[in-house]
Amino acid sequence: MRTPIIAGNWKMFKTVSEAKTFFEEVKGKAEVAGVESVICAPFTNLPALVEAAKGTSIKIGAQNLHFEDEGAFTGEISGKMLQELGVDYVIIGHSERRAYFGETDEIVNKKVHAAFKYGITPIPCVGEKLEEREAGQTKEVVKVQTEAALQGLTAEQAAQVVIAYEPIWAIGTGKSSTAQDANEVIAYIRSLVDGLYGSETAGKIRIQYGGSVKPENVKEYMSENDIDGALVGGASLQPASYIALVEGAK
Ligand SMILES: O=C[C@H](O)COP(=O)(O)O
């Protein structure tokens, strides 16, 4: 039995004071038995959010990390630093990082390993561009990205990973993939995990859908067999909407 997981990805939104206000409003509400609730915030918000989340069931995540422990990498943050803060999750290889910051499958894999080194659960992101979908290449694209992200992990580690399937054309566009289409790709990703690690690991790994998920459509996705939750951008920014997403995942 896989626990559904709703992760809000705030992207580059919210100052520290805005994050604290948000948390006060969702505390006790975005906490639903049987659903894991995660907020992935900008680095600057993490200390305050980790502190605020103490004694709650809400987990805090980062949106990126560097794969080295430390070094001359101006502007970067390492897993070692995140571990000391007490961060539980980290998003890796979001399509925005791949598109705007040149992250490759190889870098994504190094970051996944770095997260495990510091006891942080990675949420690697995979997904096709519109032209790839139209050319019938969706499965080919997610196969390459998924296998690269998991490369070198043990079965035990792979079972802990949370994969986010986000078709790029559905991100922030209001054009969500149908629940059936998303489920088909997610079931395919699970079959890839089966091929790599066997059915026990494939049965344990959680795979989220992301792309224009809202309180109004979250239940449709959650009713599909292979979809274990959602990685949500825009609709995770308002407390009422975030609470409704977590409630809708039950
Ligand atoms: O990480 C979240 C995704 O990029 C989805 O963003 P969105 O919910 O605003 O479409």
Residue nearest to atom 3 of ligand 1 (CA): 233
Any alpha helices (H) in 154-178, and if so which ranges?
155-160
Q: How remote is the CA of residue 168 from the centroid of ligand 1, in Å? A: 9
Asked whether the whole model's pTM tops 0.90, one would answer: yes
Q: Is the pLDDT of residue 175 over 90?
A: no
- What CATH architecture is 5-249? Alpha-Beta Barrel (3.20)
Residue nearest to atom 2 of ligand 1 (CA): 233
- Percentage of residues of the chain with pLDDT beyond 90: 97
Beta carbon of 210 within 6 Å of any ligand 1 atom: yes
Beta carbon of 64 within 6 Å of any ligand 1 atom: no
Q: How remote is the CA of residue 10 from the centroid of ligand 1, in Å? A: 9
Which of 6, 212, 237, 238 has most ligand 1 atoms within 8 Å of CB, for mutation?
212
Q: What's the CA gap between 117 and 83, in Å, rounded? A: 10
To the question of whether residue 11 is assigned a binding role by annotation, the answer is: yes
Q: How remote is the CA of residue 203 from the centroid of ligand 1, in Å? A: 25
pLDDT 10s digits, 138-163: 999 999 999 999 999 999 999 999 99
Beta carbon of 215 within 6 Å of any ligand 1 atom: no
Q: Choose the catalytic residue: 36, 66, 94, 96.
A: 94
pLDDT band for position 174 (50/70/90)?
confident
Q: At what angle do helices 239-248 and 16-26 cross, to 10 degrees?
A: 50
To the question of whether residue 214 is assigned a binding role by annotation, the answer is: no
Task: Judge contact between 106 and 72, C-beta under 8 A.
Answer: no
What is the interface pTM, i.e. ipTM, of the complex?
0.99
Task: Judge contact between 165 and 128, C-beta under 8 A.
Answer: no
Beta carbon of 211 within 6 Å of any ligand 1 atom: yes
Q: What DSSP string runs through 82-118? A: HHHHT--EEEES-HHHHHHS---HHHHHHHHHHHHHT
Beta carbon of 233 within 6 Å of any ligand 1 atom: yes
**Could you confirm whether 166 is annotated as catalytic?**
yes
Range 83-87, long-range pairs (CB < 8 A, 24+ positions): 83/118, 83/119, 83/120, 85/46, 85/47, 85/50, 86/50, 86/60, 87/46, 87/50, 87/60, 87/61, 87/62, 87/120
pLDDT of residue 64: 98
Q: What's the CA gap between 72 and 83, in Å, rounded? A: 19
3-state DSSP assignment of residue 132: helix
pLDDT of residue 241: 98
